[in-house]
Amino acid sequence: MYDLAIIGAGWAGFNACIRAKELNLKVALIEKAEIGGTCLNLGCIPTKALIHSAKIFNLAKESSDFGVESVSPTLNFVKVTERKNRIIDNLRSGMRFMLKGVDLFNAEAKIISPCQVDIGGKIIETKSILLATGSSPLKLDQYKFDGKKIISSNEAISLRKIPSSLLIIGGGVIGCEFASLFSAFGTEVTIIEKMPRLLWGEDSDITGRLEASFRKKGIKINTGANRFDVSNGVNQDSFDFILVSVGRAPHGDIPGLGKIGVKLEKGRVITDNFLKTNIDNIYAAGDCTGGVMLAHFAGYQGRLAAENISGKIGLKKKNSSGIPNCIFTDPEVASVGLTQEKAVKEGIDVEVKKFDFMGLGAARILNEPQGLLKIVSDKKDNAVLGASIIGPKATEIIGILTLAVSCRLRVEDLRSAIFAHPTISEAISEALR
């Protein structure tokens, strides 16, 4: 008899497993594919490995700006891909090492009852079940995936050669990251987005700068696409590939789940604030629950679910505030909490502080002075409500502001902190002066 059977070894399931192991629970971890889920195998890690290679390639091309004269650099895409695969393999090996002491089953799971799981024909008994089955690329009827011409992000990270042209349907996080990546590799990129601007939901000042940077690099941007004509007048036949990146769909419909009465809504598992489903001993965490589909939030949910299942720490509600969003475009974009637009929409009387990276020494040193930082606070109590950044190291600097939002720090608390000089983080104190 297991204390906990976890279905899915992605970031939610893996983190839940490690936490459950720390709490001395007997755990069965079930994964039908590779451990690490989308994040390690098809998402966060491989895309960022490719993006970093693109960044290095760009820096090499601009080396003379730094006084480094070199022969015109060339890109070896085979080596780029090999490096990406090595990183995945190394991290996967590390995860397997951390799972020592856990029964890992490489098979598809079918739920027989709230206390029984069929794993490839073998039925195990368990006190609790955690569903952590992730998500998959959302499909469009107008552009059905064929794996050849019309591809998802799954295929995009495994292309064997750099396409000469790429049409991207969807200007959200995934679409913008791939646009930035392939443009750096020399691909002619066109983005089609149905909303009025890219990265809808991010601060408009930030997205405006990203669009300007993209256009300067030759990326064509076609926003405001008609929802009934996703192509927006663009001839799809003129592109090597069409990448459909319009979001992700939760994978909550696990074999046997509906039969035992677990509530689902459009494929997502319905949970309460403690991550429990309508069945007392069945919980769910990560992308399969819908909502915010970010690896770091999935990992947090997995750990929280394991603690709640164990009963050893006391029940804790999930906290959905203060979740950082990091977009690894060039330039990077990051945000946390409320944007200015969202705060105003909620009727909050806000104060907005900005700092342009043109006046930042570290940004000048890096030759990336086109950045901007915005901090949104509540005029009533000066609490920091949110922040948005575009520029170098934005995805790192947002960690400081995540802490500020999560701990409800006041503007004075941040203003009085001493930031090292010359660093990008100085933009925070400069904005608040």
Could you say which of 3.30.70.2860, 3.30.499.10, 2.60.40.1510, 3.30.390.30 is the CATH number of the domain covering 325-432? 3.30.390.30
pLDDT digits (tens, 9 = 90+) for 69-106: 988 899 999 999 999 999 999 999 999 999 998 999 99
Number of H helices, E strands in the chain: 13, 21
Helices (H), 201-325: 204-216, 295-310
**Closest listed residue to residue 268, CA positions, set 252, 281, 257:** 252
Catalytic site residues?
421
Give the 3-state secondary structure of residue 311: coil
Give the 3-state secondary structure of residue 325: strand
Q: What mean pLDDT comes out for the span 269-276?
A: 97
pLDDT digits (tens, 9 = 90+) for 107-125: 999 999 999 999 999 999 9
- For the chain, the domains span 2-137+249-310, 150-246, 325-432
CATH number attached to the domain at 2-137+249-310: 3.50.50.60
At the topology level, CATH places domain 150-246 in FAD/NAD(P)-binding domain (3.50.50)
* DSSP code at position 276: B
Domains 2-137+249-310 and 150-246 share a fold: yes
**Closest listed residue to residue 263, CA positions, set 247, 274, 276:** 276
Which pLDDT score is estimated for 320?
Answer: 87
Calculate the average pLDDT of the chain. Answer: 95
Which pLDDT score is estimated for 230?
Answer: 61
pLDDT band (50, 70, 90) for residue 229? low
pLDDT digits (tens, 9 = 90+) for 156-207: 999 999 999 999 999 999 999 999 999 999 999 999 999 999 999 999 999 9
| Beta carbons of 411 and 387 less than 8 angstroms apart | no
Residue 151's DSSP bridge partners are 243
- CA dist 86 and 18 (Å) reads 24
Phi, psi of 428 (to 5 degrees): -65, -55
pLDDT digits (tens, 9 = 90+) for 332-372: 999 999 999 999 999 999 999 999 999 999 999 999 999 99
